[in-house]
Amino acid sequence: MMHFLEDQANLLPSSIKDLQARRHFRVSVGPILALGLLQLPVCMAYNLVMAITTDFQSTTYTTCNAFNIFPTTSAAAKSQHKVWALACWLEFPFLIASAWLQFRFYRRNLRRPVRSVGCLMAIIMAVSSSSVLLWGTFPQEDGDSLLHITIAVSLFVSCAIYMAGSFVCAKYYMSDRSGQLHEEFTLRLKSGLVFTYYVWVVVMWIFYFIHQKFCFPLAYSVFGMGEFISCECFFIYLCTAYFDFYHVYICYDQRLGFFLSEM
């Protein structure tokens, strides 16, 4: 047996590839995912600024002619529909990739009582990603059209469920790693975004019904502000995937090809 090993070590190379150095590298998933997911919150801020500076009258118009100074996110997206459509289509692959990574991550790392909840949250994120893509595909639909209402309701429900469910899963996962500074910072950031999201969602819907019922001045402005802040919180929350997958790498090996490191 020893003679066989010695002969194998002394074998001559059979091709030029055997003489080349073995190539391999790895790239962290976290920064790539965070940069890809950052497109929509940046684009929403851009849409708002451009709507106020270049299209203020049409984006603040209300059917009851109430005084309004703050465009809704939908009106701003409609005003800058080409930019918004491009951003939604560019972000969609990153949203699906994040949902897939979360599904694998939850299935492997969560404890049994919440494992199914985590997988369900990943599926809900994929559903909300489809709603975002539809919003980007049809940004010029009127606010009272059936398609716009369907997209808005689907996106709101899926986002609200995902924010709550994924935060619970994060608490379960990070409770096993308590005491680490990185995990504590991530949990505080997520909890702050979740709290701000739900506060402004409640404010948003209260003032929406006030506007619809009484058409008070500036009521629709508060609704628009709540819609903008809650949407920003949701999409920035998705960017915290950086902290969830900073330790995951896309690896390449000359013999094995591309593969993901362990989560």
pLDDT for residue 20:
52
pLDDT at 125 over 90: yes
Tell me how far apart the alpha carbons of residues 162 and 168 are, in angstroms, rounded to a whole number: 10
The residues, any chain, with a CB within 8 Å of residue 119's CB and separated by 6 or more, are 103, 106, 107
What are 20-45's pLDDT values in tens digits?
A: 555 677 888 999 999 999 999 999 99
The residues, any chain, with a CB within 8 Å of residue 16's CB and separated by 6 or more, are none
Classify residue 198: in a domain, yes or no: yes
The residues, any chain, with a CB within 8 Å of residue 199's CB and separated by 6 or more, are none
Look at the chain and report how many structural domains it folds into. Answer: 1
Element (H, E) at 90: helix 81-109
Classify residue 149: in a domain, yes or no: yes
Classify residue 6: in a domain, yes or no: no
Reference 98, options 254, 247, 244; nearest CA is 244
Classify residue 9: in a domain, yes or no: no
Classify residue 21: in a domain, yes or no: no
Query: Which of the listed ranges 2-6, 13-17, 84-88 does the model predict with the highest average pLDDT?
Result: 84-88
Arithmetic mean of pLDDT over the chain: 87
pLDDT for residue 172:
84
Classify residue 209: in a domain, yes or no: yes
The residues, any chain, with a CB within 8 Å of residue 3's CB and separated by 6 or more, are none
Tell me how far apart the alpha carbons of residues 140 and 120 are, in angstroms, rounded to a whole number: 32
Classify residue 64: in a domain, yes or no: yes
* Confidence at 113, pLDDT banded by 50, 70, 90: confident
Classify residue 80: in a domain, yes or no: yes
Q: Which range (4-8, 46-50, 116-120, 228-232) has the least confidence?
A: 4-8
Residue range(s) defining the domain that contains residue 257: 26-262
